[in-house]
Amino acid sequence: MNNGLQQLDPNDVRIFSGRSNPELARKIAEQLSVPLEETHISRFSNDNLYVQLGASVRGRTVYIVQSLVPPVSDHLVELLMMLDIAKSASAREVHAIIPYFSYARSDKKDAPRISITSRLVADLLVTAGANHIMTMQLHSPQVHGYFSIPADPLTARGLFANHFRGKKYKADDTVVVAPDVGGAKSSARFAQMLELPVASAHKTRVADKKVEIGGLFGRQVKGFRRALVHDDEIATGGTAVKLCQLLVEQGIEEITLICTHGLFLGNALDRLSSIPEVQEFVTTDTVHIPVARRPSNMTVLSTAPVFGGAIRQNYSRLSIGELFDFGQDGDEESV
């Protein structure tokens, strides 16, 4: 798999970070043995943003790391400005590394006179100067097709599987649960990696902060003692709370909540922690969660090895699908 893999040349590569997740950017740079360059960001008196890249990018390959987390609009404009700066300063290639692409939730026209914002943002990134997009676990897979440039949606399933393999859960007492049909395929792949059964619930989103969870179907959860709830993201916690209540009603005694993007907005963590059966939270660092906010039973897995590996493969002009072919799952989302 490593045949032809090149070391990144620090004289040829520049890595910059916006303000959304500099800790992850530093870890990615460390994975690649390339320094994280400075980015100077401030505001003018009229509230306009001022952004300056702290190192020359002329003729170089540039990677810009920025998650679209609150305040999303500020972080998006920062990213667009950084891409434009790199393009205007004659960078050879400009790669946007977006660990959490929040606008993937705005993927369709389901009401009159609204924007398909994920497509709009995809176009803005290209106009600003991006030659390539790399992200993690899009909420809506069809958003991949909105990009007119190469885009790689990576997966954290391998990180999660490695974390749970040591626990040696048994198929007769533990079940993987997908909160909705849209995530059922990803959850099934994750369950296969752990050799566990899988079940899926039926979710209807009534409003941004209100959901309804129907009965589980497929393989029912009755008779199982433990549930691993596998989702792409937890924002307000509405879906997770409803699902946990349903699982407890059906006899589940222990629940582990797993999500790639742990936003945990507002009082989401308090609401979920108040459910006695919730034993553990497992998420990644695509969204920065300050240590002071993390409950004692939360594990945050770093996606830096995934992004670093994909960047190294891409730099070497090698397929990244091979890199993320975990277990026997040969149809990964990253290719």
Catalytic residue among 170, 185, 203, 242: 203
The kind and range of the H/E element at 237 are: none
Q: Which among 121, 116, 85, 123 has a CA at the least distance from the CA of 100? A: 121
CA atoms within 13 A on the CB side of 233: 22
Tokens 């995934």, located at residue:
306
Query: 272 — phi, psi (to 5°)?
Result: -75, -40
**Angle, alpha carbons 268-271-275 (nearest 5°):** 135
Is 82 in a helix, a strand, or coil?
helix
Q: Is 50 helix (H, G, I), strand (E, B) or coil?
A: strand
Length of the chain: 335
Residue 242 appears among annotated catalytic residues: no
β 198-200/151-154 pair status: unpaired
The Cα 223–Cα 289 span in angstroms is 35
Judged by DSSP in three states, 164 sits in: helix
Catalytic residue IDs: 203
